[in-house]
Chain A
């Protein structure tokens, strides 16, 4: 039985009994212990065992990614500005990306779109527009 449950059964607040100081629960180390000194259990007395603060995670339930394109040749790629700066003032990096494709991969058609609302709001109409236009891929950019 753990200490907290035991105290609760005794009608004692675990906090009152346990508080307040860390001084009573200092790590089991020997100050200035000589290297290699051992305790009665054979463990180096200067060694400390601590709990791991790392979190166990699980992957989110996922909607599978759409199949990737075999190549970009002849495809239409939408370059969507998330409008982080507001009122379409940040799509310049999309413009540069469009220029890069025009220069280096001219068979790729690129279309720049600016998402409506501010950068934290959705724009379902834009996603429908891209789907209706049979866009092959989307690059969504949010920039600071």
Chain B
């Protein structure tokens, strides 16, 4: 059903009545019209045929897309793309016909095949995103043809990397399977650092897809107050399956070990462990970091260096990832007052407690200092093994698993082997003597 949208200034939650009255009598930040006038107008203005004409710059409402832009200089086109809101602010590779044609050699799919359909709630539009559109975005991001199957798999999920929210939402993407080696993704030393081509450009392409899906129209879908720098490349990484003590993440999600898969995660915060855990067990150290997380619906994502994974298996006896997750679930506690005192928990889970849904209803009735076990669903705790084994490091996050998608159906290249230490893609050390 089409609806008429009116935007108030933000924030609203927690604001005193005088501020809220000012919002109502003040301007809609999206239209500069008076909010209360817009409210009355929305209730009384007769419905017209053409009232849903948004200002989404990337969209052509003619029903047919102008294939090419007017020829211009490199500098002018770079400026045009930026001013149209088609970029992440960084320079792009201009999507010439030749480059896009070459990008399309990375898949066996035809250019006009629909990869995903995105629905924009405010303008009531479906965006049909084709293989060619993904290829254009891939070129813009600096990707190579061999990266295209991963981009198509990401696009096929329809998941934005920067969801519409006032909060600093962020996303992470993980690649498993043989394609990690073919495209030289880094799962080893410095895998999250800005050094490896595939990790950098694939992650960036997800955000450029998101931008072109309409998720970053200022004060329409894009409201994040501070933003999140993770959005520049979305922690794009591969799992170090070869050095991991446990089964790969995609196998946990019921994909075949030889299948190439991209998995997406969403959350807000990451905390890095620093140095190690010689004074406490790894698990106890992680508890301190989990204590800073909300524990929303038992979701967490732990990224462990292979050294840590092996330690947990060989010294602490956790034979599988799920064994360790169950131990966290059984042993991590938090005062009920701390849990319910987090706004995010109050927002998302208190209404469920109020409806009698367990265990939240029981937890809600407990005294504030009573300890609860908020990670009650161990299957919602994700473990990913990434790192170069130079130090027993890990990262703890509130990221929740969202979805996985097979890469293989988008591919045009046979599977190959290699890259035993997971450090594919790292360029050689510079030869100028620097280190």
Q: What is A's interface to B at a CB cutoff of 8 Å?
A: 2-4, 7-8, 13-22, 24-25, 27-29, 43-44, 46-60, 62-65, 67-72, 77, 83-87, 89-90, 92-93, 95-97, 99-100, 116-119, 121, 137, 139, 143-144
Contacts and interface: CB of A to CB of B under 8 A. Distances in A.
Interface residues of B, number: 94
14 contacts: A15-B105, A15-B412, A19-B146, A48-B71, A49-B68, A51-B67, A53-B58, A57-B127, A64-B47, A86-B349, A86-B351, A87-B346, A92-B17, A144-B11
Contact of B68 (A4, A52, A117): A52
Interface stretch (B36-44, B306-314, B419-427): B36-44
Q: Which 5 A-B pairs have the closest CB atoms?
A: A143-B12, A18-B105, A86-B347, A144-B166, A14-B105
Given A54-B58, A118-B351, A119-B347, A19 B63 contact: no
B13 A90 contact: yes
A51 B51 CA distance: 30
A25 B99 contact: yes
B230 interface: no
Nearest to A94: B20
Nearest to A144: B166
B86 interface: yes
Contacts of A92: 12, 15, 17, 20
Interface stretch (B132-140, B231-239, B323-331, B371-379): B132-140
Contacts of A62: 1-2, 124
Interface in B2-51: 2-4, 8, 10-13, 15, 17, 20-21, 23-25, 36, 39-40, 43-47
A66 to B, nearest CB: 8
A144 to B, nearest CB: 4
Interface stretch (B89-97, B274-282, B387-395): B89-97
Interface string B107-137: 0100000000001000011111100110011
Nearest to A17: B105
Contacts of B213: 55
Contacts of A49: 68-69, 71, 96-97
B68 to A, nearest CB: 6
Given A28-B96, A87-B354, A144-B223, A54 B13 contact: no
Contact of A68 (B36, B46, B346): B46
Given A54-B60, A55-B212, A144-B10, A48 B128 contact: no
Interface stretch (B72-80, B253-261, B283-291): B72-80
A116 B47 CA distance: 30
A65 B351 contact: no
A97 B352 contact: no
Given A29-B73, A65-B47, 8 more contacts: A16-B413, A18-B145, A52-B69, A58-B125, A84-B347, A86-B346, A116-B355, A143-B10
Contact of B39 (A7, A27, A85, A139): A139
B62 interface: yes
B27 to A, nearest CB: 15
Given A14-B412, A15-B146, A90 B12 contact: yes
B167 to A, nearest CB: 8
A80 to B, nearest CB: 12
A17 B62 CA distance: 37
Contact of B63 (A14, A56, A60, A116): A56
B105 A53 contact: no
A51 B47 contact: no
A58 B128 contact: yes
A15 B124 contact: no
A82 to B, nearest CB: 11
B366 interface: no
Given A16-B413, A87-B351, A52 B66 contact: yes
Contact of A85 (B69, B167, B347): B347
B402 interface: no
Interface string B393-428: 000000000000000000011100000000000000
Contact of B145 (A3, A15, A144): A15
Contacts of B351: 83, 86-87, 116-118, 121
Nearest to A62: B2
Contact of B350 (A7, A19, A87, A121): A87
B207 to A, nearest CB: 13
B59 interface: yes
B43 A68 contact: yes
B239 to A, nearest CB: 23
Nearest to B223: A144
Interface string B130-173: 00110011011000111000000000000000000111000000
Given A15-B412, A43-B71, A93-B20, A57 B61 contact: yes
Contacts of A44: 71
A85 B94 CA distance: 43
Contacts of B127: 55, 57
Contacts of B139: 22
A95 B18 CA distance: 11
B146 A20 contact: yes
